[in-house]
Protein backbone atom coordinates (compact mmCIF):
# COMPACT_ATOMS: atom_id res chain seq x y z
CA UNK A 1 0.00 0.00 0.00
CA UNK A 2 1.27 3.48 -0.89
CA UNK A 3 0.27 6.80 0.69
CA UNK A 4 -0.46 9.87 -1.40
CA UNK A 5 -0.70 13.34 0.15
CA UNK A 6 -3.63 15.26 -1.29
CA UNK A 7 -5.05 18.70 -0.47
CA UNK A 8 -8.82 18.32 -0.04
CA UNK A 9 -11.16 21.21 0.78
CA UNK A 10 -8.21 23.32 1.94
CA UNK A 11 -6.86 20.75 4.43
CA UNK A 12 -3.90 18.47 3.84
CA UNK A 13 -4.85 14.82 4.21
CA UNK A 14 -3.24 11.47 3.61
CA UNK A 15 -4.98 9.17 1.16
CA UNK A 16 -4.44 5.48 0.68
CA UNK A 17 -4.04 4.12 -2.82
CA UNK A 18 -4.82 0.43 -3.02
CA UNK A 19 -4.00 -1.41 -6.22
CA UNK A 20 -6.18 -4.38 -7.04
CA UNK A 21 -6.79 -6.32 -10.21
CA UNK A 22 -9.65 -3.97 -11.04
CA UNK A 23 -9.35 -0.61 -9.27
CA UNK A 24 -6.94 2.13 -8.31
CA UNK A 25 -8.47 3.90 -5.29
CA UNK A 26 -7.24 7.37 -4.35
CA UNK A 27 -9.35 8.17 -1.32
CA UNK A 28 -9.01 11.38 0.70
CA UNK A 29 -10.29 11.34 4.26
CA UNK A 30 -13.41 13.34 5.07
CA UNK A 31 -12.92 13.11 8.83
CA UNK A 32 -14.76 15.83 10.75
CA UNK A 33 -12.16 18.21 12.20
CA UNK A 34 -12.35 18.99 15.89
CA UNK A 35 -13.75 22.49 16.48
CA UNK A 36 -12.72 25.19 16.10
CA UNK A 37 -12.14 24.67 12.38
CA UNK A 38 -12.83 28.13 10.97
CA UNK A 39 -11.08 28.02 7.55
CA UNK A 40 -9.92 31.58 8.17
CA UNK A 41 -8.00 30.52 11.30
CA UNK A 42 -6.88 26.92 10.57
CA UNK A 43 -3.36 26.46 11.94
CA UNK A 44 -0.51 24.18 10.93
CA UNK A 45 -1.10 22.25 14.14
CA UNK A 46 -4.71 21.51 13.22
CA UNK A 47 -3.66 20.45 9.74
CA UNK A 48 -1.13 18.04 11.24
CA UNK A 49 -3.85 16.65 13.49
CA UNK A 50 -6.12 16.15 10.47
CA UNK A 51 -3.31 14.35 8.66
CA UNK A 52 -3.06 11.86 11.49
CA UNK A 53 -6.73 10.88 11.41
CA UNK A 54 -6.90 8.06 8.90
CA UNK A 55 -10.34 7.15 7.62
CA UNK A 56 -11.58 3.54 7.82
CA UNK A 57 -10.99 1.57 4.66
CA UNK A 58 -13.70 0.89 2.09
CA UNK A 59 -15.50 -2.43 1.84
CA UNK A 60 -15.26 -4.49 -1.37
CA UNK A 61 -18.08 -3.93 -3.80
CA UNK A 62 -19.09 -0.49 -2.51
CA UNK A 63 -17.62 1.66 -5.28
CA UNK A 64 -20.32 3.81 -6.90
CA UNK A 65 -20.04 6.37 -9.69
CA UNK A 66 -21.76 9.71 -9.00
CA UNK A 67 -21.98 12.70 -11.32
CA UNK A 68 -18.95 14.25 -9.57
CA UNK A 69 -16.76 11.17 -9.24
CA UNK A 70 -16.58 7.72 -7.72
CA UNK A 71 -17.17 6.97 -4.03
CA UNK A 72 -16.67 3.90 -1.88
CA UNK A 73 -18.07 3.11 1.55
CA UNK A 74 -18.37 0.60 4.37
CA UNK A 75 -20.57 -2.39 5.17
CA UNK A 76 -21.89 -3.28 8.63
CA UNK A 77 -24.88 -5.27 9.90
CA UNK A 78 -26.40 -5.64 6.46
CA UNK A 79 -26.14 -1.94 5.53
CA UNK A 80 -23.81 -0.24 3.06
CA UNK A 81 -22.95 3.34 4.07
CA UNK A 82 -21.35 6.19 2.15
CA UNK A 83 -20.69 9.16 4.43
CA UNK A 84 -19.85 12.81 3.93
CA UNK A 85 -20.46 13.05 0.17
CA UNK A 86 -20.45 16.73 -0.81
CA UNK A 87 -23.58 17.70 -2.73
CA UNK A 88 -22.55 21.35 -3.16
CA UNK A 89 -19.48 23.55 -2.93
CA UNK A 90 -18.35 24.91 0.43
CA UNK A 91 -20.56 27.97 1.17
CA UNK A 92 -17.59 30.04 2.36
CA UNK A 93 -15.89 33.21 1.13
CA UNK A 94 -17.96 34.76 -1.65
CA UNK A 95 -20.40 31.83 -1.39
CA UNK A 96 -21.28 32.62 2.23
CA UNK A 97 -24.94 33.75 2.06
CA UNK A 98 -25.28 32.71 -1.57
CA UNK A 99 -27.40 29.93 -3.10
CA UNK A 100 -25.60 26.57 -3.09
CA UNK A 101 -23.21 26.11 -6.01
CA UNK A 102 -22.28 22.80 -7.69
CA UNK A 103 -19.33 20.94 -6.27
CA UNK A 104 -16.26 20.74 -8.53
CA UNK A 105 -15.93 16.99 -8.08
CA UNK A 106 -12.83 14.87 -7.47
CA UNK A 107 -10.41 12.52 -9.18
CA UNK A 108 -10.04 8.88 -8.25
CA UNK A 109 -12.36 7.19 -5.77
CA UNK A 110 -13.54 9.21 -2.77
CA UNK A 111 -13.30 7.22 0.45
CA UNK A 112 -16.70 8.12 1.94
CA UNK A 113 -16.21 6.33 5.25
CA UNK A 114 -16.46 9.14 7.82
CA UNK A 115 -19.03 11.81 8.58
CA UNK A 116 -18.60 15.23 7.03
CA UNK A 117 -18.30 18.27 9.32
CA UNK A 118 -21.36 19.64 11.07
CA UNK A 119 -22.50 23.01 9.81
CA UNK A 120 -21.48 26.01 11.95
CA UNK A 121 -23.34 26.10 15.26
CA UNK A 122 -22.70 26.61 18.93
CA UNK A 123 -22.35 23.53 21.10
CA UNK A 124 -25.91 23.62 22.42
CA UNK A 125 -26.72 20.08 21.26
CA UNK A 126 -23.23 18.66 21.28
CA UNK A 127 -22.60 19.23 17.58
CA UNK A 128 -20.61 22.48 17.78
CA UNK A 129 -18.65 23.46 14.69
CA UNK A 130 -17.15 26.44 12.89
CA UNK A 131 -16.48 24.59 9.61
CA UNK A 132 -18.40 26.09 6.71
CA UNK A 133 -17.47 23.26 4.33
CA UNK A 134 -20.40 21.20 5.55
CA UNK A 135 -22.88 20.57 2.73
CA UNK A 136 -22.81 16.79 2.58
CA UNK A 137 -25.09 13.78 2.53
CA UNK A 138 -24.84 10.29 3.96
CA UNK A 139 -26.34 7.49 1.90
CA UNK A 140 -27.24 4.08 3.32
CA UNK A 141 -28.69 1.11 1.45
CA UNK A 142 -29.31 -2.59 2.10
CA UNK A 143 -26.12 -4.55 1.48
CA UNK A 144 -28.10 -7.24 -0.34
CA UNK A 145 -30.43 -5.07 -2.37
CA UNK A 146 -32.16 -6.73 -5.31
CA UNK A 147 -32.64 -5.50 -8.83
CA UNK A 148 -35.73 -3.40 -7.99
CA UNK A 149 -35.04 0.23 -7.12
CA UNK A 150 -35.98 1.01 -3.51
CA UNK A 151 -37.90 3.97 -2.11
CA UNK A 152 -35.72 6.82 -0.84
CA UNK A 153 -36.20 8.44 2.57
CA UNK A 154 -34.42 11.81 2.85
CA UNK A 155 -33.94 12.89 6.45
CA UNK A 156 -33.92 16.62 7.28
CA UNK A 157 -32.71 16.96 10.86
CA UNK A 158 -34.20 19.18 13.54
CA UNK A 159 -32.67 21.57 16.05
CA UNK A 160 -34.62 24.81 15.72
CA UNK A 161 -32.67 25.63 12.54
CA UNK A 162 -29.78 26.52 14.89
CA UNK A 163 -28.37 23.16 15.93
CA UNK A 164 -28.10 19.54 14.97
CA UNK A 165 -26.88 16.89 12.61
CA UNK A 166 -28.67 13.97 10.96
CA UNK A 167 -29.30 10.72 12.76
CA UNK A 168 -28.09 7.36 11.49
CA UNK A 169 -30.79 5.93 9.22
CA UNK A 170 -29.46 2.36 9.31
CA UNK A 171 -32.42 1.08 11.35
CA UNK A 172 -34.89 2.24 8.70
CA UNK A 173 -32.73 0.72 5.94
CA UNK A 174 -32.32 -2.61 7.69
CA UNK A 175 -35.92 -2.94 8.87
CA UNK A 176 -37.87 -1.18 6.16
CA UNK A 177 -35.86 -2.02 3.01
CA UNK A 178 -35.38 1.60 1.93
CA UNK A 179 -32.46 3.81 0.92
CA UNK A 180 -31.67 6.51 3.48
CA UNK A 181 -30.21 9.92 2.65
CA UNK A 182 -29.23 12.15 5.57
CA UNK A 183 -28.65 15.84 4.85
CA UNK A 184 -26.47 18.49 6.46
CA UNK A 185 -27.60 22.02 5.62
CA UNK A 186 -26.64 25.55 6.71
CA UNK A 187 -27.97 26.63 10.10
CA UNK A 188 -28.72 29.80 12.01
CA UNK A 189 -27.29 33.05 10.74
CA UNK A 190 -25.46 31.19 7.93
CA UNK A 191 -28.70 29.66 6.71
CA UNK A 192 -31.03 32.65 6.90
CA UNK A 193 -29.42 36.10 7.07
CA UNK A 194 -31.16 38.58 4.76
CA UNK A 195 -29.80 41.99 3.80
CA UNK A 196 -30.28 44.38 0.87
CA UNK A 197 -26.63 43.98 -0.11
CA UNK A 198 -27.04 40.20 -0.26
CA UNK A 199 -29.84 40.51 -2.80
CA UNK A 200 -33.56 41.08 -3.04
CA UNK A 201 -34.38 37.41 -2.37
CA UNK A 202 -31.66 36.83 0.21
CA UNK A 203 -32.28 34.45 3.09
CA UNK A 204 -33.53 30.84 3.16
CA UNK A 205 -30.16 29.40 2.09
CA UNK A 206 -30.84 26.40 4.33
CA UNK A 207 -34.03 25.54 2.44
CA UNK A 208 -32.10 25.99 -0.81
CA UNK A 209 -29.45 23.60 0.52
CA UNK A 210 -32.13 21.00 1.24
CA UNK A 211 -33.39 21.37 -2.31
CA UNK A 212 -29.85 21.12 -3.71
CA UNK A 213 -29.51 17.84 -1.82
CA UNK A 214 -32.80 16.66 -3.34
CA UNK A 215 -31.50 17.52 -6.81
CA UNK A 216 -28.38 15.49 -5.97
CA UNK A 217 -30.71 12.62 -5.10
CA UNK A 218 -32.50 12.94 -8.43
CA UNK A 219 -29.20 12.77 -10.31
CA UNK A 220 -27.41 10.09 -8.30
CA UNK A 221 -29.57 7.91 -6.08
CA UNK A 222 -30.29 5.30 -8.74
CA UNK A 223 -26.61 4.32 -8.63
CA UNK A 224 -27.05 3.47 -4.92
CA UNK A 225 -30.16 1.37 -5.57
CA UNK A 226 -32.73 4.08 -4.90
CA UNK A 227 -35.72 5.12 -7.00
CA UNK A 228 -35.58 8.85 -7.90
CA UNK A 229 -39.27 8.60 -8.76
CA UNK A 230 -40.17 7.61 -5.18
CA UNK A 231 -38.63 10.10 -2.75
CA UNK A 232 -40.02 10.83 0.72
CA UNK A 233 -38.65 13.69 2.81
CA UNK A 234 -39.11 13.50 6.56
CA UNK A 235 -37.99 15.16 9.75
CA UNK A 236 -38.98 16.27 13.23
CA UNK A 237 -39.20 19.73 14.82
CA UNK A 238 -37.28 22.05 12.46
CA UNK A 239 -37.10 19.00 10.18
CA UNK A 240 -40.90 18.83 10.21
CA UNK A 241 -41.05 22.57 9.58
CA UNK A 242 -38.68 22.01 6.64
CA UNK A 243 -41.09 19.44 5.19
CA UNK A 244 -43.84 22.06 5.40
CA UNK A 245 -41.59 24.69 3.81
CA UNK A 246 -40.62 22.45 0.90
CA UNK A 247 -44.25 21.48 0.38
CA UNK A 248 -45.00 25.20 0.00
CA UNK A 249 -41.89 26.06 -2.04
CA UNK A 250 -42.28 26.33 -5.83
CA UNK A 251 -38.55 25.69 -6.24
CA UNK A 252 -39.01 22.22 -4.67
CA UNK A 253 -41.65 21.14 -7.19
CA UNK A 254 -40.89 17.66 -8.55
CA UNK A 255 -37.97 17.03 -6.18
CA UNK A 256 -39.95 14.77 -3.83
CA UNK A 257 -43.21 12.88 -3.91
CA UNK A 258 -44.16 12.36 -0.27
CA UNK A 259 -43.40 14.07 3.01
CA UNK A 260 -43.62 13.23 6.72
CA UNK A 261 -43.81 16.34 8.91
CA UNK A 262 -43.22 15.32 12.54
CA UNK A 263 -43.65 17.81 15.39
CA UNK A 264 -43.59 20.73 12.95
CA UNK A 265 -45.88 22.94 15.06
CA UNK A 266 -44.05 24.18 18.15
CA UNK A 267 -43.66 27.98 18.12
CA UNK A 268 -45.56 30.16 20.58
CA UNK A 269 -49.13 30.57 19.28
CA UNK A 270 -49.37 34.27 20.17
CA UNK A 271 -45.84 35.16 19.07
CA UNK A 272 -44.20 35.41 22.50
CA UNK A 273 -41.33 33.20 21.39
CA UNK A 274 -38.87 32.53 24.19
CA UNK A 275 -37.08 29.56 22.59
CA UNK A 276 -36.98 30.00 18.80
CA UNK A 277 -37.67 32.66 16.21
CA UNK A 278 -40.97 32.15 14.39
CA UNK A 279 -40.35 29.23 12.07
CA UNK A 280 -42.85 26.40 12.32
CA UNK A 281 -45.61 25.02 10.11
CA UNK A 282 -48.28 27.33 11.58
CA UNK A 283 -46.34 30.60 11.98
CA UNK A 284 -46.60 33.83 10.09
CA UNK A 285 -42.98 34.12 8.98
CA UNK A 286 -41.13 37.45 8.72
CA UNK A 287 -41.51 39.27 5.42
CA UNK A 288 -38.47 40.03 3.28
CA UNK A 289 -38.72 43.67 4.32
CA UNK A 290 -38.71 42.74 8.01
CA UNK A 291 -35.82 40.30 7.56
CA UNK A 292 -33.74 42.82 5.62
CA UNK A 293 -34.28 45.40 8.35
CA UNK A 294 -33.18 42.85 10.95
CA UNK A 295 -30.14 42.05 8.82
CA UNK A 296 -29.14 45.70 8.73
CA UNK A 297 -29.18 45.85 12.53
CA UNK A 298 -27.11 42.66 12.71
CA UNK A 299 -24.56 44.04 10.26
CA UNK A 300 -24.32 47.34 12.13
CA UNK A 301 -23.70 45.49 15.42
CA UNK A 302 -20.65 43.92 13.74
CA UNK A 303 -19.39 47.25 12.40
CA UNK A 304 -20.64 46.67 8.83
CA UNK A 305 -22.47 49.99 8.54
CA UNK A 306 -21.95 50.83 4.86
CA UNK A 307 -25.07 49.39 3.17
CA UNK A 308 -23.26 49.13 -0.17
CA UNK A 309 -20.38 47.05 1.26
CA UNK A 310 -22.21 45.12 3.96
CA UNK A 311 -21.92 41.77 2.18
CA UNK A 312 -18.16 42.13 1.70
CA UNK A 313 -17.75 43.21 5.31
CA UNK A 314 -19.88 40.41 6.76
CA UNK A 315 -18.13 37.76 4.69
CA UNK A 316 -14.86 38.80 6.32
CA UNK A 317 -16.18 38.23 9.86
CA UNK A 318 -14.93 34.98 11.46
CA UNK A 319 -17.47 32.21 11.96
CA UNK A 320 -17.18 32.22 15.75
CA UNK A 321 -17.93 35.94 15.94
CA UNK A 322 -21.03 35.56 13.73
CA UNK A 323 -22.28 32.75 15.95
CA UNK A 324 -21.66 34.82 19.06
CA UNK A 325 -23.48 37.86 17.72
CA UNK A 326 -26.50 35.93 16.44
CA UNK A 327 -26.83 33.95 19.69
CA UNK A 328 -30.35 32.61 20.17
CA UNK A 329 -31.80 35.04 17.64
CA UNK A 330 -34.24 36.59 20.11
CA UNK A 331 -32.65 40.05 20.48
CA UNK A 332 -33.04 43.06 18.15
CA UNK A 333 -29.49 42.81 16.78
CA UNK A 334 -29.31 39.02 16.40
CA UNK A 335 -30.25 38.73 12.72
CA UNK A 336 -32.64 36.28 11.07
CA UNK A 337 -31.84 32.65 11.89
CA UNK A 338 -34.97 30.88 10.61
CA UNK A 339 -37.13 30.82 7.44
CA UNK A 340 -38.59 34.01 5.98
CA UNK A 341 -40.95 34.90 3.13
CA UNK A 342 -38.19 35.79 0.67
CA UNK A 343 -40.41 35.96 -2.44
CA UNK A 344 -38.72 33.14 -4.33
CA UNK A 345 -37.94 30.04 -2.26
CA UNK A 346 -40.94 30.86 -0.03
CA UNK A 347 -43.44 33.22 -1.65
CA UNK A 348 -45.59 32.92 1.50
CA UNK A 349 -45.60 31.24 4.88
CA UNK A 350 -46.37 27.51 4.72
CA UNK A 351 -49.52 27.99 6.83
CA UNK A 352 -50.86 30.48 4.29
CA UNK A 353 -49.93 28.12 1.45
CA UNK A 354 -51.90 25.33 3.16
CA UNK A 355 -54.85 27.66 3.68
CA UNK A 356 -54.86 28.84 0.04
CA UNK A 357 -53.81 25.64 -1.73
CA UNK A 358 -50.55 26.98 -3.17
CA UNK A 359 -48.66 23.77 -2.51
CA UNK A 360 -46.76 21.11 -4.40
CA UNK A 361 -48.64 17.97 -5.41
CA UNK A 362 -47.37 15.56 -2.76
CA UNK A 363 -48.85 13.15 -0.22
CA UNK A 364 -48.20 13.90 3.45
CA UNK A 365 -48.11 12.31 6.85
CA UNK A 366 -48.42 15.09 9.40
CA UNK A 367 -48.74 15.25 13.15
CA UNK A 368 -47.40 16.13 16.58
CA UNK A 369 -46.85 14.57 19.99
CA UNK A 370 -49.60 15.18 22.53
CA UNK A 371 -47.45 16.82 25.24
CA UNK A 372 -44.99 18.86 23.19
CA UNK A 373 -43.34 21.77 25.03
CA UNK A 374 -40.72 24.11 23.57
CA UNK A 375 -41.02 26.75 26.28
CA UNK A 376 -39.73 26.92 29.84
CA UNK A 377 -41.50 24.60 32.28
CA UNK A 378 -43.56 25.65 35.29
CA UNK A 379 -41.70 24.36 38.32
CA UNK A 380 -43.97 25.95 40.93
CA UNK A 381 -47.51 27.37 41.21
CA UNK A 382 -45.95 30.82 40.91
CA UNK A 383 -44.28 29.79 37.65
CA UNK A 384 -47.64 28.57 36.35
CA UNK A 385 -49.28 31.94 37.07
CA UNK A 386 -46.39 33.96 35.66
CA UNK A 387 -45.84 31.93 32.51
CA UNK A 388 -49.52 31.80 31.54
CA UNK A 389 -49.72 35.60 31.87
CA UNK A 390 -46.46 35.99 29.92
CA UNK A 391 -47.62 33.80 27.04
CA UNK A 392 -51.31 34.63 26.79
CA UNK A 393 -51.60 38.21 28.01
CA UNK A 394 -55.17 39.49 28.09
CA UNK A 395 -56.43 35.97 27.37
CA UNK A 396 -54.83 34.57 30.54
CA UNK A 397 -58.05 34.66 32.63
CA UNK A 398 -59.78 32.45 30.07
CA UNK A 399 -56.78 30.12 29.97
CA UNK A 400 -56.81 29.80 33.77
CA UNK A 401 -60.52 28.97 33.61
CA UNK A 402 -60.00 26.28 30.97
CA UNK A 403 -56.95 24.75 32.70
CA UNK A 404 -57.29 25.17 36.49
CA UNK A 405 -54.45 23.56 38.42
CA UNK A 406 -56.90 21.72 40.67
CA UNK A 407 -57.94 19.54 37.74
CA UNK A 408 -54.42 18.10 37.28
CA UNK A 409 -52.50 15.56 39.39
CA UNK A 410 -49.30 16.48 41.18
CA UNK A 411 -47.12 18.16 40.18
CA UNK A 412 -50.20 20.05 39.01
CA UNK A 413 -48.38 23.27 38.11
CA UNK A 414 -46.02 21.38 35.77
CA UNK A 415 -48.69 19.22 34.12
CA UNK A 416 -51.22 22.04 33.75
CA UNK A 417 -48.76 24.34 32.01
CA UNK A 418 -47.36 21.48 29.92
CA UNK A 419 -50.91 20.77 28.73
CA UNK A 420 -51.68 24.43 27.97
CA UNK A 421 -48.51 24.88 25.91
CA UNK A 422 -49.00 21.62 24.01
CA UNK A 423 -52.65 22.35 23.20
CA UNK A 424 -52.06 25.95 22.10
CA UNK A 425 -48.75 25.59 20.29
CA UNK A 426 -48.88 22.07 18.85
CA UNK A 427 -52.01 19.93 19.12
CA UNK A 428 -54.64 22.40 17.94
CA UNK A 429 -52.47 24.08 15.27
CA UNK A 430 -51.61 20.62 13.95
CA UNK A 431 -55.29 19.71 13.73
CA UNK A 432 -56.02 22.98 11.94
CA UNK A 433 -53.21 22.29 9.46
CA UNK A 434 -54.65 18.80 8.86
CA UNK A 435 -57.88 20.52 7.85
CA UNK A 436 -56.14 23.03 5.59
CA UNK A 437 -53.81 20.53 3.92
CA UNK A 438 -56.56 17.99 3.30
CA UNK A 439 -58.48 20.41 1.06
CA UNK A 440 -55.66 20.21 -1.46
CA UNK A 441 -53.56 17.12 -0.68
CA UNK A 442 -53.92 13.58 0.59
CA UNK A 443 -52.96 13.74 4.27
CA UNK A 444 -52.54 11.00 6.86
CA UNK A 445 -52.89 12.73 10.24
CA UNK A 446 -51.53 11.49 13.55
CA UNK A 447 -51.02 12.37 17.19
CA UNK A 448 -48.49 10.50 19.33
CA UNK A 449 -50.08 9.39 22.61
CA UNK A 450 -47.15 7.33 23.86
CA UNK A 451 -46.39 8.70 27.35
CA UNK A 452 -43.92 5.99 28.41
CA UNK A 453 -41.30 6.11 25.66
CA UNK A 454 -37.62 6.04 26.66
CA UNK A 455 -36.84 9.63 27.69
CA UNK A 456 -34.78 11.82 25.39
CA UNK A 457 -31.49 13.27 26.63
CA UNK A 458 -32.85 16.84 26.77
CA UNK A 459 -35.63 15.99 29.28
CA UNK A 460 -35.73 16.37 33.05
CA UNK A 461 -36.30 12.71 33.83
CA UNK A 462 -37.78 13.53 37.26
CA UNK A 463 -40.82 15.15 35.61
CA UNK A 464 -43.92 13.58 33.99
CA UNK A 465 -43.06 14.64 30.43
CA UNK A 466 -45.78 12.60 28.75
CA UNK A 467 -45.65 12.20 24.97
CA UNK A 468 -42.79 14.68 24.60
CA UNK A 469 -41.47 16.68 21.65
CA UNK A 470 -39.89 14.52 18.89
CA UNK A 471 -40.63 11.32 20.83
CA UNK A 472 -40.80 9.29 17.61
CA UNK A 473 -37.09 9.84 17.02
CA UNK A 474 -36.50 7.34 19.81
CA UNK A 475 -37.96 4.63 17.59
CA UNK A 476 -36.97 5.68 14.07
CA UNK A 477 -33.30 6.05 15.03
CA UNK A 478 -33.00 4.19 18.34
CA UNK A 479 -30.20 5.27 20.69
CA UNK A 480 -27.44 2.70 21.13
CA UNK A 481 -28.26 0.27 23.91
CA UNK A 482 -31.89 1.38 24.24
CA UNK A 483 -33.93 -1.06 26.30
CA UNK A 484 -37.62 -1.28 25.39
CA UNK A 485 -40.46 -2.88 27.28
CA UNK A 486 -42.70 -5.32 25.43
CA UNK A 487 -45.26 -2.54 24.93
CA UNK A 488 -42.63 -0.22 23.46
CA UNK A 489 -41.18 -2.97 21.27
CA UNK A 490 -44.57 -3.39 19.65
CA UNK A 491 -44.80 0.38 19.21
CA UNK A 492 -41.32 0.57 17.67
CA UNK A 493 -42.14 -2.17 15.15
CA UNK A 494 -45.38 -0.42 14.23
CA UNK A 495 -43.83 3.04 13.75
CA UNK A 496 -41.01 1.82 11.53
CA UNK A 497 -43.47 -0.24 9.48
CA UNK A 498 -45.80 2.73 9.02
CA UNK A 499 -43.05 5.22 8.14
CA UNK A 500 -41.25 2.94 5.68
CA UNK A 501 -44.53 1.52 4.38
CA UNK A 502 -45.62 5.05 3.52
CA UNK A 503 -42.31 5.54 1.71
CA UNK A 504 -42.95 2.39 -0.32
CA UNK A 505 -46.61 2.92 -1.25
CA UNK A 506 -47.85 6.35 -0.12
CA UNK A 507 -50.09 4.65 2.45
CA UNK A 508 -49.06 3.90 6.07
CA UNK A 509 -51.51 1.00 6.33
CA UNK A 510 -49.25 -2.05 5.97
CA UNK A 511 -48.99 -5.48 7.57
CA UNK A 512 -48.53 -5.24 11.32
CA UNK A 513 -50.28 -1.87 11.62
CA UNK A 514 -53.89 -0.68 12.10
CA UNK A 515 -56.04 0.72 9.29
CA UNK A 516 -55.09 4.37 8.79
CA UNK A 517 -57.54 6.38 6.71
CA UNK A 518 -56.68 9.75 5.18
CA UNK A 519 -57.94 12.85 6.98
CA UNK A 520 -60.82 14.45 5.04
CA UNK A 521 -63.43 17.11 5.64
CA UNK A 522 -66.13 14.45 5.87
CA UNK A 523 -64.03 12.07 8.00
CA UNK A 524 -61.46 13.98 10.11
CA UNK A 525 -59.69 10.83 11.26
CA UNK A 526 -56.45 11.20 13.22
CA UNK A 527 -54.35 8.17 14.11
CA UNK A 528 -53.66 8.08 17.85
CA UNK A 529 -50.27 6.37 18.04
CA UNK A 530 -50.14 4.34 21.26
CA UNK A 531 -47.91 1.50 22.50
CA UNK A 532 -48.76 -2.19 22.79
CA UNK A 533 -50.68 -2.32 19.52
CA UNK A 534 -53.38 0.03 20.86
CA UNK A 535 -53.20 2.72 18.17
CA UNK A 536 -56.58 3.70 16.76
CA UNK A 537 -58.30 6.40 14.75
CA UNK A 538 -59.91 9.20 16.73
CA UNK A 539 -62.07 12.17 15.80
CA UNK A 540 -62.24 13.80 19.24
CA UNK A 541 -58.97 15.73 19.53
CA UNK A 542 -60.49 19.14 18.89
CA UNK A 543 -62.95 18.85 21.77
CA UNK A 544 -60.48 17.21 24.15
CA UNK A 545 -57.86 19.93 23.69
CA UNK A 546 -60.05 23.08 23.57
CA UNK A 547 -59.23 23.73 19.92
CA UNK A 548 -62.34 25.86 19.44
CA UNK A 549 -60.73 28.36 21.81
CA UNK A 550 -57.15 28.13 20.54
CA UNK A 551 -58.01 28.30 16.83
CA UNK A 552 -59.36 31.81 17.35
CA UNK A 553 -55.74 32.97 17.40
CA UNK A 554 -54.48 31.07 14.35
CA UNK A 555 -52.69 32.91 11.57
CA UNK A 556 -54.57 33.29 8.27
CA UNK A 557 -57.98 32.49 9.74
CA UNK A 558 -59.68 29.31 8.59
What CATH number does the domain located at 370-553 have? 3.40.50.1820
Which CATH architecture describes the domain 2-262?
3-Layer(aba) Sandwich (3.40)
Residues 9-60 have pLDDT tens digits of 222 233 333 322 222 233 332 222 333 333 322 222 333 334 336 778 999 9
What is the rounded average pLDDT of the residues 376-400? 97
What is the rounded average pLDDT of the residues 99-103? 98
What is the rounded average pLDDT of the residues 207-223? 98
- Residue 35 pLDDT: 31
Q: Which residues pair with 394 in a beta bridge?
A: none
What are the backbone dihedrals phi and psi of residue 355, each rounded to the nearest 5 degrees, phi first?
Answer: -70, -30
> Mean pLDDT of all residues in the chain?
90
What is the rounded average pLDDT of the residues 288-294? 97
Q: Say yes or no to pLDDT of 486 above 50.
A: yes
Alpha-carbon span 204 to 348, nearest angstrom: 12
What is the rounded average pLDDT of the residues 200-229? 98
Which CA distances in Å does 540 have to 32, 444, 458, 546, 547?
A: 48, 16, 30, 10, 10
Q: Which residues pair with 443 in a beta bridge?
A: 364
Residues 439-463 have pLDDT tens digits of 999 999 999 999 999 999 889 999 9
Q: Say yes or no to pLDDT of 533 above 90.
A: yes
Model confidence band, residue 558 (pLDDT cutoffs 50, 70, 90): low
Q: Say yes or no to pLDDT of 163 above 70.
A: yes
Count the residues in the chain. Answer: 558
314: Cβ–Cβ under 8 A, 6 or more apart, which residues? Answer: 96, 97, 193, 195, 299, 302, 304, 322
Alpha-carbon span 22 to 8, nearest angstrom: 25
Alpha-carbon span 60 to 81, nearest angstrom: 12
- Residue 53 pLDDT: 60
Residues 125-146 have pLDDT tens digits of 889 999 999 999 999 999 987 8
Residue spans in the chain of domains classed CATH 3.40.50.1820: 2-262, 370-553
Cα dihedral 549, 552, 553, 557 sign: positive
Strand pairing category for 526-529 and 443-448: parallel
Amino acid sequence: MKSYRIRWFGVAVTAAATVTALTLTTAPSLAEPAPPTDPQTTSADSQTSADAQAAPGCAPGTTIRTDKGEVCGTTADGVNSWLGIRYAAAPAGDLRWAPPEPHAGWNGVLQATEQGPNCPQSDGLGAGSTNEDCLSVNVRAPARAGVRKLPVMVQIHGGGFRFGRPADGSHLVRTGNVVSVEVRYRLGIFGYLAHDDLGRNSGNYAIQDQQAALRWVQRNIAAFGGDPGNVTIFGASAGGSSVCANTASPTARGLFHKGIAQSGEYNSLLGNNTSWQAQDCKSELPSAKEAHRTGQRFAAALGCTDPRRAAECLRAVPVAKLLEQSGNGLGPDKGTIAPIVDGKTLPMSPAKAFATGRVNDVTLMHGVDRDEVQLASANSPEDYERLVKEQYGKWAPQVFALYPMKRFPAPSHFIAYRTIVADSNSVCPSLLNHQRMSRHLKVFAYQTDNADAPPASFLDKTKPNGAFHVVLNQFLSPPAGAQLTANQQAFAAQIVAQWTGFAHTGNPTVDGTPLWKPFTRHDPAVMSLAPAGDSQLTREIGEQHNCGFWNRFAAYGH
